[in-house]
Amino acid sequence: MENRALNVVPFVSVDHMMTLVLHVGMERFLVELAEYIEEDFRRWPVFDKTPRVASHSSNGVIELMPTSDGELYGFKYVNGHPLNTRSGRQTVTAFGVLADVGSGYPMLLTEMTILTALRTAAMSALAAMHLAPAGARCMAIIGNGAQSEFQAMAFKALLGIDRLRLFDIDASASRRCAANLGAYGFDIAICRSPQEAIEGAQVITTVTADKQHATILTDNMVGAGVHINAVGGDCPGKTELHRDILMRAEIFVEYPPQTRIEGEIQQLAADHPVTELWQVISGLTAGRRDERQITVFDSVGFAIEDFSALRYVRDKIRSTDFYDRLDLLADPDEPRDLFGMLLRHAAKHSAA
C-alpha cells in the first residue's frame, strides 16, 4: 500500500491564514514579512526574473507570477477584475505554491488573497522607509477599497504613520475604512476631494481600482518633498498619476521590464530613467536625497515579493496546526508503477 501520508502538502486556507495573522499579530506579521522581502531584495541577482504572464480581457486580467532562487520555486495565480464588486465578489483573488527545486515537489499551497494584500502593504512601507521624508507621520490614502486598511497598518508598523486622510469617490468606502481602523490609534479625517486629502500629508498612497487611464493626482496638486506610493496603476492601460508629476519626480520601481508595461511609467518614453528599488535596499544607490525631492514608488507587484511571502508563511506555520494536510501528490511506493497504484486502489474499494 502506498505511503501517501509522507507526501501530503501543507494547505493554508483562508480561515487558517486569518488565524495565523491574528496569532502572530497584524503589525508584527507586516514587519516580519517586510524583513523577508528585504532579505530577498538584497539577493536580487540570484533570482529568475520575468514579467508576469498575463491574460487580459475587457473585464480584467488573470496572471501567473513565477520566480526561483535556484533552491525554491514559487508562483502566484492572481486576477484583477474591478467589476466583480458589483456581484459581491473580490476584485483580486489569488493562491500560490512554493516548491523544492531539487525534487520538483510542492512544499506549500496557500490562499494568497489576504496574503497578497499584506505583502503589497509590507512592500509599500518597506519602500517608504527608504523614500519617504524623515519623520513622516501623515498619509493620504486615495481609493479606500480592499487594500487601504492594510496599507495604513503597514505604514503604522514600519514608519510610525498615525494620521490618515481618506478619500474615495464612494464616501461609504471611506467611512468603512475609518471604522475598520478605529481601534488602531489613528487620527483619521474623511475628505471630500483628493486635493483636500493630500493637504499636510508627507506620504500619498493612490490605490484605486478602475482599469483605465485616470488622473487621480494632477501636477499642480503635488508639492515638493512628498513621497507618492502609487499602488493602483498595475496593468496596461491603467494609471493614476498625471504624466507631469512623473517628469519632475525620482521614480523607483521593482522590475523595469514589467513596470514599463503595467506601471505609471507606461506613460513615459522607454528610456526614461528609473531606479530599481533592490539597489536602494542593498545600499548600492541612494533613495531620498533631499527634503524637497518628490519620490514615486511605481508599485505593480513582483514575483519575488510573493516568493518572500510564501517563504514567510511556510516558516510561520511550522509548529502550528494552522494548515490542512492536502493529499495532492500521486506517489506510489514504486515510482514507475503509477498504473498499479490505480489497480490497487480499485481492488481496495472492490473488497470494501
C-alpha cell at 12: 493554508
Give the separation between CA 146 and CA 296, rounded to whole angstroms.
Answer: 22
| DSSP conformation letters of 103-119 | T--EEEEEE-HHHHHHH
Report the candidate in 215, 7, 35 with the shortest Cα–Cα distance to residue 129: 35
DSSP, collapsed to helix, strand or coil, labels residue 175 as helix
CB 228 within 8 A of CB 245: yes
Distance CA 277, CA 117 (A): 20
In angstroms, the Cα distances linking 96 to 113, 159, 246, 335 are 9, 28, 33, 26
Q: Exposed, middle or buried: residue 206 (CB in 10 Å: 0-12, 13-18, 19+)?
A: buried
Is 337 an active-site residue?
Answer: no
Which residues 6+ apart lie within 8 Å of 315 measured at CB? none
Number of alpha carbons in the 13 Å side-chain half-sphere of residue 316: 26
How does DSSP classify residue 238? B
CB-neighbour burial class of residue 177 (10 A; exposed 0-12, middle 13-18, buried 19+) = buried
What is the four-CA torsion angle of 240, 242, 244, 247, rounded to 10 degrees? Answer: 10
First to last CA, the chain: 15
Candidate list 234, 315, 321, 331, residue with the active-site label: 234
- Burial category of 192 from C-beta neighbours within 10 Å (exposed 0-12, middle 13-18, buried 19 and up): exposed
At CA 212, angle to CA 210 and CA 217, rounded to 5? 85
Q: Which residues are catalytic?
A: 234
